[in-house]
Amino acid sequence: MTASAATTGMTGWRVRRPGPIDGGPLDFVREAVPEPAAGELLVRVLACGVCRTDLHVAEGDLPVHRPGVVPGHEVVGEVVARGPGSAGALGSPAPEFAVGDRVGIAWLRHTCGICRYCLRGAENLCPNSAYTGWDADGGYAEYATVPAAYAHRLPDGYDDMETAPLLCAGIIGYRALQRADLPRGGRLGIYGFGGSAHIAAQVALARGAEVHVMTRDPAARELAADLGAASVQGAADRPPVQLDSAILFAPIGELVLPALDALDRGGILAIAGIHLSDIPALNYQRHLFQEREIRSVTANTRADAREFLALAGEHRIHVTTTGYSLGTADRALADLEHGRFTGAAVLIP
């Protein structure tokens, strides 16, 4: 650990009273810098994206896993110390990171490596998985730790603010695209157009897709059009064509019905969020018959992260961000809740 960090401590946010964000569920605290455990890195946070999952943790939509947790799992940082040992879980080799390296911390923090899901390459379904900013303290602070086996090398060509949303919004959007099984050159519908959606849309466009965006926010509709969407309309409006695939990014169960209704025969709807309000009753003939499917998206694997970050290094993605100081993280979450910015919010310590 650096001498200055050990002397001065750090500031950060903890979720003390999960509940509505306007009620102040987070406290801004000063405390000691964490010590990296065996196989962990201590990272000085350079930027941390603000994800809707952080809002779900703060408001209690997700059950409390670690009382008083520090949220944040889209972390760009600099390694300032290494814990003893460099082996990953169960002795698997971890990436080599040196003090001074720029690294990323994402949502997935630990998997067991021995369950049937891990052994078949589906570590995102591991029953013993753990997550940054939910099971362990995250990046709404000046320092954070991460197991070296779950830290990520970052693509060149992006500054810290641009990179942070790639580490969840980008990775989860990429996995949602994989789950939606969009045919090459196919027609994709995107419902909700925030931090993850505006990145996923660009990946789909780079692959030759025709993208149609449904969102309630006028500024988001303008951004979608600027990025090359073939059509843009209201959140529950019908797109001008039948869709081969669709992704629901908005955490609104009522939108499942219009999304399914817009699918062509054999179409797939992927639901990208970790939390969704209740889905109304479906009409089998209208919404599911003709082999339409609904698929959920559960976290991601490290392989997903590596593939997406490599893709981001090869194809420049325009990341729309709004910056907030670390001391205004509560306002950033409130602004996310009330739709006061487009793209992604990013905290800068």
pLDDT at 300: 96
pLDDT at 85: 73
pLDDT at 91: 40
Pairing state of beta strands 26-31 and 75-82?
Answer: unpaired
Which bin fits 305, alpha (ψ -120 to 50), beta or left (φ > 0)? alpha
Query: What is the tens place of the pLDDT at every residue in 94-116?
Result: 568 999 999 999 999 999 999 99
pLDDT at 1: 53
Query: What is the tens place of the pLDDT at every residue in 8-24?
Result: 799 999 999 999 999 99
CA-based nearest residue to 104, from 68, 158, 54: 158
Per this entry, what is the length of the chain? 349
User: What whole-number distance in Å separates Cα of residue 220 and Cα of residue 110?
Assistant: 34
Query: What is the tens place of the pLDDT at every residue in 229-276?
Result: 999 999 999 999 999 999 999 999 999 999 999 999 999 999 999 999
pLDDT grade, residue 93 (50/70/90)? very low
CA-based nearest residue to 112, from 78, 89, 142, 87: 89
Query: What is the tens place of the pLDDT at every residue in 134-188?
Result: 999 999 999 999 999 999 999 999 999 999 999 999 999 999 999 999 998 999 9
pLDDT at 322: 97
User: Is the separation of the CB atoms in 150 and 73 below 8 Å?
Assistant: no
Give this prediction's pTM.
0.92
Q: Please, what is the average pLDDT of the chain?
A: 94
Burial 267-291 (b: 16+ CB within 10 A, else e): bbbbbbbbebeeeeeeeeeebeeee
Rounded mean pLDDT, 302-311: 96
Phi and psi at 163, nearest 5°, equal -75, -40
Query: What is the tens place of the pLDDT at every residue in 319-345?
Result: 999 999 999 999 999 999 999 999 999
pLDDT at 92: 43
Say which residues have a Cβ less than 8 Å from residue 91's Cβ, sequence separation at least 6.
none
Is it the case that residue 5 has pLDDT exceeding 60? no
pLDDT grade, residue 295 (50/70/90)? very high
